[in-house]
């Protein structure tokens, strides 16, 4: 069976103990599946994989950085935001050749003779998890709803002061 070349692959064969940094640059369209291709990632995606190798474990920290195009959830103005994500995966070495199973999402067993590890799916998930749930343009003066929020804050200050007055009267009553 022919295996396709991984988009983001770290070669660990012959890697000395210590910390090693690997840098990659890719685009959303390079990933399989439509989740990233149809998403807001239109620019280059910078990926840094920091591998810390010990005698019986390999810890890989994945850091992603890119600029994403959004629209404001309030006024629909176009926005660009820097998106950063981080994810850590622990690989435990095993002497058995058939151990390529997951202990859980972050801990995985690998063979001591493993040549490389594929981080493509982990990078894709890191990017998707880094997306904000809600995007607003609080600094945009053209956002109509943002301008009306400042008037609401003034009414809250008045309510707060009337509440504080009532509390003061109650406090004085029991003295």
Three-state SS annotation for 57-101: EEEEEEEEEEEEEEECCCCCCEEEEEEEEEEEEEEEEECCCCCCC
Per-residue pLDDT tens for 139-156? Answer: 666 565 444 444 444 444
Is there a contact between 82 and 101 (Cβ–Cβ < 8 Å)? no
Mean pLDDT of the chain: 77
> What percentage of the chain has pLDDT greater than the value 70?
69
Least confident residue range of 86-90, 119-123, 131-135, 161-165: 161-165
Give pTM, 2 decimals.
0.69
């Amino acid at each position: 069976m022919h295996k396709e070349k991984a988009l983001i692959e770290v070669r660990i064969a012959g890697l000395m103990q210590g910390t090693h940094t690997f840098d990659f640059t890719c685009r959303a369209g390079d990933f399989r599946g439509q989740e990233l291709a149809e998403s807001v990632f239109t620019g280059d995606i910078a990926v840094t994989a920091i591998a810390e190798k010990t005698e019986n474990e390999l810890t890989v920290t994945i850091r992603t950085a890119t600029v994403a195009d959004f629209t404001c959830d309030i006024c629909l103005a176009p926005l660009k935001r820097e998106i950063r994500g981080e994810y850590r995966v622990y690989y435990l070495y095993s002497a058995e050749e058939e151990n390529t199973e997951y202990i859980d999402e972050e801990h995985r067993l690998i063979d001591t003779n493993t040549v490389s590890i594929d981080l493509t799916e982990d990078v894709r998930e890191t990017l998707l998890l880094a997306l904000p749930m809600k995007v607003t343009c609080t600094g945009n003066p053209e956002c109509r709803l943002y301008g009306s929020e400042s008037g609401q804050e003034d009414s809250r200050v008045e309510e707060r002061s009337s509440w504080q007055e009532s509390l003061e009267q109650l406090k004085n009553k029991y003295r």
